[in-house]
Amino acid sequence: MPPGATPPPGTTAPPAEEEQKQSGGNFLTQCGPQILMLAVMFGIFYFLLIRPQQKKAKEHQELLRALKKGDRVVTNGGIFGTITGIDDRIAVIEISEKVRIKVLRSQVAGKADSSLESLNNR
């Protein structure tokens, strides 16, 4: 019997579960496209935001491990200097002749290159 049709007189209406099968379908056919779209959006989010950030953090950790005495560096605060001492947590940076500061090793942004230092000398 087609959905929505009335049964002939003297017969009973079809059970509720038969009507549900005819009109509704199961959970995956109703919500499948939305779940698929959500999975695609998460995949795009992962590859455009999360993965590049993890790669950048890994490169920064490798840079911090490779720091040694005599390296020219710049801190996250924009201070240029030369490492005169370094241990597991703290780096001693000489920023001017006989002027040394202690900074957390994690606050070293990177090695200073010549283009950045020319800006500092103005």
Q: What is the pLDDT of residues 41-94, one digit of tens each?
A: 999 999 999 999 999 999 999 999 999 999 999 999 999 999 999 999 999 999
Looking at the domain assignment, is residue 3 inside a domain?
A: no
58 and 73: one domain?
Answer: no
Looking at the domain assignment, is residue 109 inside a domain?
A: yes
95 and 56: one domain?
Answer: no
- Give how many domains the chain has, as a whole number: 2
Query: Count of CB atoms within 10 A of residue 67's CB?
Result: 16
Residue 52: which region, alpha, beta or left (left: phi > 0; alpha: psi -120 to 50)?
A: alpha
57 and 74: one domain?
Answer: no
